Amino acid sequence: MAEKLKLDLSLILPDIPDERDACVERLTELLQAEGLEKVHLVREDGSARLCLHYDPQRFSVSRVRELAQAAGAKIANRFHHESLRIDGMDCATCATVIEHALQRTDGVLEASVSYAAERLRLEYDSEKIARQAIVRRIEALGYGVLEEGREAGWFAEHRELIFSGVAGLLLLAGWLMGLAGWPRGLSLGLLLGAYAAGGFYTLRDAWQSVKSRSFDIDILMIVAAAGAAALGAWEEGALLLFLFSLGHALEHMAMDRARRAIEALAELAPRTAVVQRDGTEIEVRVEDLQRGDRAIVKPGQRIPADGQVASGNSAVDQAPVTGESMPVDKQPGDKVFAGTVNGEGALVVEVTKLSRESTLARMVEMVAEAQTQKSPTQRFTDRFERIFVPVVLMGAALLIVLPPLFGFPFAESFYRAMAVLVAASPCALAIATPSAVLSGIARAARGGVLIKGGAHLENLGTLNAIAFDKTGTLTVGKPQVTDVVTVSGSEDELLGIAAAAESRSAHPLAQAVVAEAKRRGLDWNEAGEVEAVTGKGLRAQFDGKKIAIGNARLFEGAAIPEAVRQHAERLEAEGKTTMLIQADGRFLGVLALADTPREGVRDVLSRLHRIGIRKTIMLTGDNDRVGRAIADAVGLDEVKAGLLPEDKVKAMEELGQRYGQVAMVGDGVNDAPAMARATVGVAMGGAGTDVALETADVALMADDLSKLPFAVALSRASRRIIRQNLWVSLGVVALLIPSTLFGWAGIGLAVLIHEGSTIIVVVNALRLLAYKTSSVGESFRKQ
């Protein structure tokens, strides 16, 4: 009979982004080729584990472990995953050029470039190509690769603006010389200089596009500028290249602002930490912290690593990671996160995660990764450009050739064709969506919401309905005493007797009774001779009395007073669990317990309805009575109760048919299948659980729902801005093409309006960085 061994996948393949990576399949095939009967993934305790089935007659446990580690090392050494920072991209089409070039390179398995984030997501086979060869290929295209932690120098950071400024000065000088009647050769030399400075990066990008057999905006601009020169309109050609380069430089500077909003996350963690080692305190780099180290965090300092409080009490500002507006009290045993700010008390924090594994580090990595994933609108505009640009080039060629055949002057026809090329360049269209996506994801991360890509940012804004798991999502997740009903004696007396008996039990209901008694400041003597009756309750000796606490089944055969019975039935009808309490055969009263709604859930649901969510639905494994009681308390529209995990998937399919776009909100563990079926899966408590970060499309970093309306409203604002940008960019193209075609606008005016629209859409997108929702709905205002 085969035996099984389970190993943590992150230990076997530490560098893969997630378990969907192709390396997992390669590992499975390699291990099965070694003779293991079956290899597959399972999820346990929120983490992916490799389950290996083997014949114990052929393999020992240690041998199976060795095989897995050796196979993992072999794959990790061969297949590399990297996220590289690209330097020198000055337009959205640069990303396409790099992508196309690398995707055709043998050994490169994946290459996805985000102009907005200046990032290349790369997977390559090191047996076929070396990393340095990939870097050289990128450099051959005219771009660079920045090592992590190293920034481009001042000149590199501002070179586009410098070249553009030089082009503008040369253009102005050449134009003034022409007006003053200076020799034409001198002014022409200056204009040629303006051509060279203004067209330097444009010509580079156009040449790379031609080599990669793709047509883009830079080609249109170079052809138009060359056409203007051919007609002798040097001033207009130089103006075209100057304004085009200036527009790109300003666009790049604006996009840098959005990038810095994301990169600022990485700067939150301190660079060093003071730790206790061998009885002394030493300062070490955060990267050198090990699990089990005890870091000393003084008042006002940032916590250096994820861990738990070993000693001390303080309030910690977790806003940098979770977005919570109020500091959270911490005491020994509580979790803390790297980058959060300690309050007025000193803490000793036991490190539980390495710096690269911290919640903050993973947030930064996932946000950077999110920028490389294109949204549906961006994919549409990319397809549109690939068709539109060749059509424009063919149209311009026809415009040059056909009118002269019917007697129209060739020079005029050629000039108008060049003006049409400028007018039809979809520069604003290319940057309209990525600029909004970058700003939206950056703003969400700053607000404690991790959105894993442009598609999820857009999809959040299309939701018509949201389904919620009950336990731990809508409710606190543990029982609390809700009612203390007495028929003899006082409430404190009744609760004190119950707490004395229940304090000897570890059952969640018993602990809830004890917690309520402590909250009321009650004292009690410990009960003796406690006897637990499984499924019914317990019996105990207390102050010389025989105490019995439990449900009605504990008292079978006894005469339960009608008043006690009525109270119990009323409370149970409200979906609560009841405990009857008896002392020496006399019933004293009833305690009611329930998993209570989270604070503020009703307000959250109300805000969701106000921003356009039509239906809110509960999916729960509890019975209908319990589910309905919670739903009525918080204001949910529908309840689907008694559901197993597979039933929740079917429920999501049915909700999708009824409402179209539906999100699922849960804890990311039991609800993972239903979240996968939803339009958007939203996990609670991303800062506390790795699985929430892994399984969801969107993670609310704090363990509360208050950020959900913000996330939905931000998404709708992002979609609105994307639509505005598309209307502006397409509207300008639609306006300028007939204007230049019929001679109402020349090259100069066309490029001025064209570049102006590009800057407008970027500035419009940057408004998302200052986005804030009001208590009533949505509004834009500076923070």
Just list the catalytic residues. Answer: 469
Q: Which residue has the tokens 């490799």?
A: 50
Question: What is the dihedral sign for C-alpha 471, 474, 479, 482?
Answer: negative
Axis-axis angle for helices 92-103, 131-140 (nearest 10): 130
Find where tokens 């690593």 sit: 305
Query: Residues 219, 223, 228, 230: what is their CA dihedral angle, to the nearest 10 degrees?
Result: 150
Determine the residue type at 644: L
The residues, ordered by sequence, that sit 6+ positions from 65 with a Cβ below 8 Å of its Cβ are 5, 7
Taking the C-alpha atoms of residue 96 and residue 405, their distance in angstroms, rounded to an integer, is 38
* CA pair distance 734, 597, nearest whole angstrom: 54
DSSP sequence for 451-515: E--HHHHHHHTT-SEEEEEIIIIIEEEEEEEEEEEESSS-HHHHHHHHHHHHTT---HHHHHHHH
Task: State CA 559 to chain mean position distance.
Answer: 59
CA nearest neighbour of 376 among 723, 678, 15 = 723
SS3 for 51?
Answer: strand
Give the contacts of 285 (CB within 8 A, at least 6 positions apart): 271, 272, 273
Distance from C-alpha of 604 to C-alpha of 144, rounded to nearest angstrom: 47
Please check whether residue 381 is in contact with residue 432, taking contact to mean a CB–CB distance below 8 angstroms. yes
Please tell me what DSSP assigns to residue 602. H
Phi/psi of residue 507, nearest 5 degrees:
-65, 140
Pairing of the two strands 615-619 and 465-469: parallel
Cα four-point dihedral sign 606, 607, 612, 618: negative
Q: Provide the 10 A C-beta neighbour count for residue 226.
A: 15
Give the integer Cα–Cα distance in Å for 208 and 190.
Answer: 27
State how far the Cα of 58 lies from the Cα of 63, in Å rounded to an integer. 9
Is 368 in contact with 333 (CB distance < 8 Å)? no
Identify the CA nearest to 452 among candidates 718, 261, 123, 694.
Answer: 694
Distance CA 305, CA 268 (A): 11
Residue with tokens 């090259």: 747
- Cα 244 to its chain centre, rounded Å, is 34
Tell me which H or E stretch contains 158: helix 154-180
| Cα dihedral 653, 659, 660, 662 sign | negative
Residue 376's SS3 state is helix
> Residue 198 corresponds to which amino acid?
G
Question: Residues 6 or more apart from 498 whose CB is under 8 A from it?
Answer: 513, 517, 549, 579, 581, 591
How many CB atoms sit inside 10 A of residue 558's CB? 12
Does residue 737 come out as left (phi exceeding 0), alpha (psi in the -120 to 50 range) or beta? alpha
**Cα dist from 646 to 40, 618, 651, 652, 671, whole Å:** 20, 15, 9, 10, 10
